[in-house]
Amino acid sequence: MRSSWSAVLNGVLVALLAVLVPLGAAAVWADRVLGDEDAYVAAMAPLARDPDVRRAVAGQATTAIARQIDAGPFQGAVTGLLGEAVESFVDTEAFRTAWNAANRAAHHAFFDALDSGAGNTVSVDLAPVIAQVKADLMADGVPFVDRIPETHTAITVMEYENLGALRKGFHVLQVAGIWLPVTTLVLIAVAVAVSAHRRTALAATGVGLAVGALVLAAAVPVGRRLTLDDLPADVDRAAAGAVYDALTAFLRTTAWVVLAAGVALALGAWLAGRLPRPG
């Protein structure tokens, strides 16, 4: 009878971990990565060197600046000069500083949208980039540049049809935060402690962790496809994909770490049961 209950307990443990592992990872991610301004900016910072992002930034910034200049018959030449200047700028340390500033502002805007329910996109305003390009061009004496007013243009990286549902789900994950993984660990400890066959329970725990990690690993690319599919046709898919990959790096890393831990635990428990007992 105890063996039957133990088998049921192990089955329930595997099923719960398959759900709790991805939910726990998502909760920590929402709270400690997306929810933390410095962590968000740090996750986005490497994209300043990503060729797809730099190409998208250069294209958007050049178009936005050129719209503000009426150079008459010299418009084409000025636009070409602007394009060269912007492409050169996105390869500098100054661009990386401006990119971080733009993402810090984007983080504020995203949470303002979550709190107010206004807007349904996550975008990076390139105003800091454009302002720096303008300053550099004016320093070089490029004509017509002094006519450029403060210019705002943005790269859209995510768009949601139902921001209200996203707001509720995101806040739930933030509240759960680190407590959901802690609850999962407590559940594992209790399940192993009350099990009649602790090695089997440990093996079940390892299997559950591995299954949960695989669910998480599969959910990340599915979310990527759905996110990119929801973007308007004029949004640069390559740049948006790079942003998604940067922001979900924590989830992918967590999936591989938990998978390795689960396999090691299950294999260790199985091998321990196979070893001959002393005496």
Provide the residue ranges of all domains of the chain, joining segments of one domain with +. 2-34+165-270, 48-162
β-pair partners for 158:
122
Q: What is the pLDDT of residue 212?
A: 94
What phi and psi values does residue 186 have, to the nearest 5 degrees?
-65, -40
pLDDT category of residue 148 using cuts at 50, 70 and 90: confident
Question: DSSP code of 276?
Answer: P
Q: What is the pLDDT of residue 120?
A: 63
Q: Is the pLDDT of residue 278 over 70?
A: no
pLDDT category of residue 277 using cuts at 50, 70 and 90: low
β-pair partners for 159:
121
Question: DSSP code of 142?
Answer: -
Beta strands (DSSP E) in 23-146 are 121-125
pTM (global) more than 0.85: no
C-alpha dihedral sign at 99, 244, 185, 187: positive
pLDDT category of residue 259 using cuts at 50, 70 and 90: very high
More confident: 169 or 104: 104
Q: What is the pLDDT of residue 117?
A: 59
What phi and psi values does residue 54 have, to the nearest 5 degrees?
-65, -40
Please state the rounded mean pLDDT for residues 54-75: 81
- Other CB atoms within a 10 A radius of the CB of residue 209 amount to 26
pLDDT, tens digit, 9 for 90 and up, residues 203-252: 888 999 999 999 999 999 999 998 888 777 878 889 889 999 999 999 99
pLDDT, tens digit, 9 for 90 and up, residues 43-64: 999 999 999 999 988 888 888 8
